[in-house]
Each structure stands twice: as C-alpha cells, then as structure tokens.
Amino acid sequence: MDRIDLSIAAGLLRDHWHANTRLQHLPEACAPATRTEAYAIQERVAMGETAAPLYGWKIAATSVAGQKHIGVNGPLAGRYIAERVVKSGGHIPFGNNHMKVAEIEFAFRLGKDLPPRDDLYTEDEVFAAVASLHPAIEIPDSRYDRFEVVGAEALIADNACAHWLCVGEAMPQTWRSMALAAFAPVGRITGKADVQGKGSNVLGSPRIAMTWLINELSSLGITGHAGETVTTGTCLVPMAITAGDHVTGDFGNLGSVEVRIE
C-alpha cells in the first residue's frame, strides 16, 4: 500500500468515529492485506486524534471466547489516546456505542523504555520495566457495523476497538508476588448481578498478555515508552451497559475502579 491509501483508510475510520456512524468494511482499494499495513493505518487513526503523547496500549481478544466472537485466531494490539482516558470516578459518554459493553482489566504502567530488538523479551525483563499495576475499565467500540466478521486486519486498523478507558489508582506493590492468573476481579453494575472474572482469562495470565504486547510492539519496530499504560484484556465476560449505568471493577485488597456512563 502507498501512503495515500493508508491515509484514505485512516481518514475514513476517523470520519465515522467523529460522526458516531459505522461502515460495513473498508473499500478494497485501501483495506489492509497484512498486519503491518493494518498497524500503519491504526497509527494514523490514533495519532490524528491527539496532540498529546500516546497514553498507552490495549490488547483485544485475549481469551479464546473473545477470539471466536470476533473471528480472529490471536490477540490484537490497539492504541489509547489521552483524550479518551478518564480517572476513576469520572464519566464516559455512552453516545452511539455499538458494542455496549464494559470490560474489567489489569493495566500495567511502564517505568522504563523497552525498545525494539531481534530477540523476544522475557516476562522477567518486561516486568523489571513495569512501575505499577492499576485496575481499569474499558468501554470498547468499533467503527464497523458487523465487527465480528471483518477480520483481524480490519479490526487492527480500527484501533482494535479502542474507545474509552477509565484507570484507577496504583495497586499496592504486593501484586508483584501474587499469582495474578488466579486473581478473581469482580465486575459490578448497580442494580445488576455481579460478574466474576479471573486473571487466567487473558492469555493464561495478565503477565503473559503484557509480555505479548511488548513483543508485538518490538516486532513492529515500536518502543514501549516509560509512562505508557497497557491494558491486558477483559478478565470477565463483557458486561452489557446502557446510559446511566455506574460500573465498578472490584479488585479486592488491591483496590477498585469506577465510572459512570452518561
């Protein structure tokens, strides 16, 4: 693909984002054929929306059920921009949200840069660079009318369904000695039944998911920068939301995060 095709695809996706509308699929002339092309479009989509440094990264489709739901065979990375991140206790507009779900996630914040390299990063190397762990609630959405059928490349171009994110305060550093795979956060929406999750739902462990993300960036020639935050995928079945809902992610003695859907 040449530069104009990448820009056309990114512009089309951004136009639908701004208008709160959706398209069936990208036109053939500017549809990505590879993950590399898809990530190049994604970069233009996200960075065309912000004047601030990149807030961080997300991982979509970290569970087998999630992968089957959107028709992919592995996880996908997406970018978070600062303008679409709120602190715990904040408000997120419901708007014309198509996916209509909230996801409870672990979010790691880097304290050191992890530049691209030929060798894969090990889990120990990645976590030596992690400064803190935070509870998070993601409110995803897609610019495609039928996001379940467009395929991995189209979803990556659409920023892996990144939309809004709410991040809580740093958890106690005791998380470092805990088995996060066995940890069971609870999702709660006022007036509805609690939904219990498990850390192992994200690629077997949030630690594995975080390591995957850094190696995915490395393969693309991208540095994971100090200060960036990475969400590692939903620990529980995504919870249906509507305007007016109050959503909480309860991580027990590690803390909690909450957001209101306007």
Amino acid, single-letter form, for residue 262: E
Residue 38 lies in a domain: no
251 pLDDT above the threshold of 80: yes
pLDDT score at 18: 87
Q: Is residue 7 part of a domain?
A: no
Contact 71, 148 (CB under 8 A): yes
For 36-66, what is each residue's pLDDT tens digit?
Answer: 999 999 999 999 889 899 999 999 999 988 9
**Residue pLDDT, tens place only, 147-203:** 999 999 999 999 999 999 999 999 999 999 999 999 999 999 999 999 999 999 999
User: pLDDT for 134-161, tens place per residue?
Assistant: 999 999 999 999 999 999 999 999 999 9
Helix pair angle (35-47, 3-19), 10° resolution: 50
- The number of beta carbons lying within 10 Å of the beta carbon of residue 223 is 14
The number of folded domains in the chain is 1
What contacts 22, CB < 8 A, 6 or more positions away? Answer: 16, 98, 142, 143, 144, 145
- 197 in any annotated domain: yes
Query: Which residue type, as a one-letter code, is found at position 217?
Result: L
- CATH number of the domain where residue 173 is located: 3.90.850.10
In a domain, 117, yes or no: yes
173 assigned to some structural domain: yes
**pTM summary value:** 0.96
Determine contact, residues 88/224, Cβ cutoff 8 Å.
no
Concatenated DSSP letters for 44-76? HHHHTT-SSPP-EEEEE--SHHHHHHHT-SS-E
| ∠ CA 220-226-232, rounded to 5° | 65
In a domain, 11, yes or no: no
Considering the domain boundaries, does residue 39 fall inside one?
no
- Residue-wise pLDDT tens digits, 2-25: 666 889 999 999 999 888 899 999
State which residues form the domain around 86: 52-261
Q: Is residue 99 part of a domain?
A: yes
